[in-house]
Amino acid sequence: MDIRMIYFVVSALLVTVTAQVYIVTMEGEPIISYQGGENGYEATAVESDEKIDTSSELVTSYARHLERKHDMILGMLFEEGSYKKLYSYKHLINGFAAHISPEQAETLRRTPGVKSVNKDWKVRRLTTHTPQFLGLPTDVWPTGGGWERAGEDIVIGFVDSGIYPHHPSFASHHRLPYGPLPHYKGKCEEDPHTKKSFCNRKIVGAQHFAEAAKAAGAFNPNIDYASPMDGDGHGSHTAAIAAGNNGIPLRMHGYEFGNASGMAPRARIAVYKALYRLFGGFVADVVAAIDQAVHDGVDILSLSVGPNSPPTTTKTTFLNPFDATLLGAVKAGVFVAQAAGNGGPFPKTLVSYSPWIMTVAAAIDDRRYKNHLTLGNGKMLAGMGLSPSTRPHKMYTLVSANDVLLDSSVSKYNPSDCQRPEVFNKKLVEGKILLCGYSFNFVVGTASIKKVVATVKHLGAAGFVLVVENVSPGTKFDPVPSAVPGILITDVSKSMDLIDYYNVSTSRDWTGRVKSFNAQGSIGDGLAPVLHKSSPQVALFSARGPNTKDFSFQDADLLKPDILAPGYLIWAAWCPNGTDEANYVGEGFALISGTSMAAPHIAGIAALVKQKHPRWSPAAIKSALMTTSKVVDRAGRLLQAQHYSDTEAVTLVKATPFDYGSGHVNPSAALDPGLVFDAGYEDYVGFLCTTPGIDAHEIRNYTNTPCNYEMKHPSNFNAPSIAISHLVGTQTVTRRVKNVAEVEETYTITARMQPSIAIEVNPPAMTLRPGASRSFSVTLTVRSVSGVYSFGEVKLKGSRGHKVRIPVVALGHKR
């Protein structure tokens, strides 16, 4: 051990406070990820999630080495008998648990080589909470044999940034044995360094696609990994949401945040890496990945990827290599879930357009992480911070970053970001709460809360406050787990209250230098989530309709998005080398937001529907999910959507189908929808052929099918929704439903619409035997031209309890 530091022995006689259990993590890799590098110890990193061979000499010698380091640091710092080491963590993390005093814990925090010291603490036990929020453990998993069988024999393909195969969310040992998968024939690449496969019995396929990226000169094998290894984090996160193992303990910074689970925890994972950390991806590589996935035999495709804007190389959004390849996938029986995009709350920001794709918008579920800062003048300022509190019943001095610099010349580093501890006067910061500025650097990722935490720990501060002084539309604030007390004040008016209080309380000389710091405050406990009934809500960033049919942004006669699913603050697996989120570099889990998180929720739920109904077409699965979705929140009120007010503050407005599609997914009802609106390849081609402005030759080039115009109008495509972008006078559309229940049922059909458009249905009722299909018509008539879309719905209520609902949107025009 290289000893270039001085340790001080702390006498047991000085310990006056009751000892507690602390978890200490150390620098250096644990067995599972140790790649070598320390003299005398060869690599022990496990590949392909195989079980660690604890009898291996390589493993046992490195384990002894780590434990010796743990014992040495405790023995050099503290007198024997003044502490008790409880565990040495060597396999999954490198660290130890010890029963020590708060003073000893503080000494450890300041010791070089120590990454974190956290008091062992348990918060309310919630999972990566969306399985419970969606009712999967109680209403869905039991119908298929419990979570141990949820998604059995279903293969979900992920076209994303790869996977970190060593994560416990993807482990196959200590699970029920998996049976053979004769229908899946995917390949498993080997790690180029270890020559071991990326697959196990859970991960059944792993390939990467980068030829286009290489040709463009964008690919760097040292950074991007010429393998399925996830160098970004995004791919591991999405795979775990859809199909991660159930009951994986989620722990960070010594705090327990419940157990993680995918929607279909028994489903298999097939990885098709085509996205990379620095440049994203190229359509040529993505198309190759989709093509290979379909060839290999995946059942579901999860795509958290899409074009930045409607393609300009073709005349329509529906016909481009990306969407056409997905049409081929659906033809082959593959269900496709795609993220709607993150351009909300502005209209026409969707990046997923076609009727054969299920376009998924993002919802906020019922869990919120809130915190507060209490000032010395009694004011309490709301904010967010997934962190412990400062010591109860104690106020701490507040110091602004700009007032505690070692040298004013360091201002070139933008010190208010609190990213560099070396620029601060430790004596002025130690034991105080450091006030930092949330600048644009945090928005673009060049500054991170993780580095603020590191600064605070290095300086020995009691905590930190990040102050938002101005905000741009589109800025997204998410709570970030922190090992030290911390809070982000996102409301600019609250930030001004804090700044005013600090300035009034701080005494300065004539040069502006601080004579005395008199402002005080304390940070609350932000670890425990608060559950809200006013959920779900449409997330601010979630892309909105109307759907567009061409790069001129003309409205399409097809409603998008299709459905709403959780996509805000989703806990799931991460890879230690992931860089997609600066605040989670080196972590095993991440709490992030985006429609990228919503799409795999639907992919996993679709796997559960596919498991119960293996012969259903992708359109039937899509229909079941859409027609059973909910348009009210948990309090029984109509869904709301986050939006911007006139002052650019985030507010809530009444949501419309352009925000949520058919509604929020309701998995238990989707397993037994009663009726489905089915469609096949010819129907999709018919939609293309009847959409004005699409050249028939272009359609044939992409589909190898001649046009058939029997559909007459794209609104007649048998979607579980109705959209008419140019309604003049009266127009009648038809829909055909199939009874997928096991009994005969009579349905009454009703409809309602906003006043400017009249709506009628025919027939008013119909009876369907099991497996039978019937058609009905919906007639829309313009009453008055308002210049805005009118919204409504058609309901089919069954005599045996089934409820089927489809949204209707129409824009009336003058004759």
CB 776 within 8 A of CB 762: yes
Burial zone of 504 (CB within 10 Å; 0-12 exposed, 13-18 middle, 19+ buried):
exposed
Residue 104 has pLDDT above 50, yes or no: yes
Q: pLDDT tens across 109-126, in order?
A: 899 888 777 664 322 212
With a pLDDT cut of 70, the percent of the chain lying above it is 86
For residue 683, what are its two tokens? 């129907």
Q: Which residues are catalytic?
A: 160, 234, 596
Q: Band of the pLDDT at 143, cuts 50, 70, 90?
A: low
Residue 82 has pLDDT above 70, yes or no: yes
Pairing of strands 396-400, 433-437: parallel
Q: pLDDT tens across 387-421, in order?
A: 888 898 899 999 999 999 987 545 556 788 899 99
Average pLDDT over residues 664-679: 95
- Name the CA radius of gyration of the chain, rounded: 29
Which long-range CB contacts under 8 A does 43-47 form with residues at least 24 apart? 45/166, 45/194, 46/166, 47/165, 47/166, 47/191, 47/194, 47/196, 47/197, 47/198
**What local confidence, expressed as pLDDT, does residue 13 receive?**
30
Rounded CA separation 672/666 (Å): 11
**φ, ψ of residue 320 in degrees (nearest 5):** -150, 165
**What local confidence, expressed as pLDDT, does residue 6 receive?**
28
Host H or E run for residue 292? helix 283-296
Rounded CA separation 482/146 (Å): 35
| Least confident piece of the model among 422-426, 476-480, 585-589, 687-691 | 476-480
Helices marked H in 565-666 — which ranges?
A: 595-612, 618-627, 657-660
For residue 529, what are its two tokens? 């989530």
Q: What b/e string do you get for 77-116 counting C-beta neighbours within 10 Å, with b at 16 or more?
A: bbeeebbebeebbbbebbbbbbebbbebbebbbebeebbb
**What local confidence, expressed as pLDDT, does residue 210 receive?**
85
Q: Which domains does the chain have, with CATH numbers?
A: 20-119 (no CATH), 129-366+533-673 (3.40.50.200), 370-528 (3.50.30.30), 718-813 (2.60.40.2310)
The answer for 659, left when phi > 0, alpha when psi is -120 to 50, beta otherwise, is: alpha
Q: Band of the pLDDT at 288, cuts 50, 70, 90?
A: confident
**What local confidence, expressed as pLDDT, does residue 577 receive?**
79
Average pLDDT over residues 706-727: 93
CB 91 within 8 A of CB 67: no
Residues 6+ apart with CB under 8 A from 24: 95, 96, 97, 98, 108, 114, 116, 117, 118
| Most confidently predicted of 315-319, 537-541, 567-571 | 537-541
Q: pLDDT tens across 564-574, in order?
A: 999 988 888 88
DSSP codes of every residue in 665-703? --HHHHTS-SEE----HHHHHHHHHHSTT--HHHHHHHH
**What local confidence, expressed as pLDDT, does residue 165 receive?**
93
Helix %, strand %, coil % for the chain, to 5? 25, 30, 45
Average pLDDT over residues 699-725: 88
DSSP 3-state of 659: helix
SS (H, E, C) 197-210: ECCCCCEEEEEECC
CB 782 within 8 A of CB 813: yes
Residues 6+ apart with CB under 8 A from 386: 369, 371, 479, 480, 481, 482, 526, 527, 591
**φ, ψ of residue 322 in degrees (nearest 5):** -65, -55
Q: Which residue has the higher pLDDT, 553 or 457?
A: 457
With a pLDDT cut of 90, the percent of the chain lying above it is 46
Rounded CA separation 723/353 (Å): 13
**What local confidence, expressed as pLDDT, does residue 124 receive?**
20
Q: What's the mean per-residue pLDDT of the chain?
A: 84
Residue 532 has pLDDT above 70, yes or no: no
CB 813 within 8 A of CB 785: yes
**What local confidence, expressed as pLDDT, does residue 17 receive?**
45
Host H or E run for residue 592? strand 589-592
**What local confidence, expressed as pLDDT, does residue 328 receive?**
80
* Angle separating helix axes 102-109 and 57-77, nearest 10 degrees: 110
Average pLDDT over residues 623-641: 94
Closest CA to 173 of 281, 53, 71: 53
Peptide bond into 536 cis (omega under 30): yes
**What local confidence, expressed as pLDDT, does residue 179 receive?**
86
Q: Band of the pLDDT at 579, cuts 50, 70, 90?
A: low
DSSP code at position 1: -
Average pLDDT over residues 372-378: 91
For residue 41, what are its two tokens? 């110890």
Q: Which residue has the higher pLDDT, 588 or 73?
A: 73
For residue 660, what are its two tokens? 């949520």
For residue 552, what are its two tokens? 């001129």
Residues 6+ apart with CB under 8 A from 195: none
**What local confidence, expressed as pLDDT, does residue 694 receive?**
85
DSSP codes of every residue in 488-557? EE--HHHHHHHHHHHHHH-EE-TTS-EEE---EEEE----S-EE-SS--EE-TTS-----BSSTT-PBPS
Q: Band of the pLDDT at 300, cuts 50, 70, 90?
A: very high
Pairing of strands 20-26, 95-100: antiparallel
| Least confident piece of the model among 32-36, 165-169, 571-575, 808-812 | 32-36
Residue 52 has pLDDT above 50, yes or no: no
Q: What angle do CA 442, 445, 450 make, to 5 degrees?
A: 70
**φ, ψ of residue 98 in degrees (nearest 5):** -140, 150
Residue 131 has pLDDT above 70, yes or no: no
Rounded CA separation 286/741 (Å): 38
Host H or E run for residue 440? helix 440-444
Q: pLDDT tens across 600-630, in order?
A: 999 999 999 999 999 999 999 999 999 999 9
Q: Which residue has the higher pLDDT, 143 or 234?
A: 234
- How far does Cα 53 stand from its chain's mean position? 34
**What local confidence, expressed as pLDDT, does residue 443 receive?**
75
Q: Band of the pLDDT at 739, cuts 50, 70, 90?
A: very high
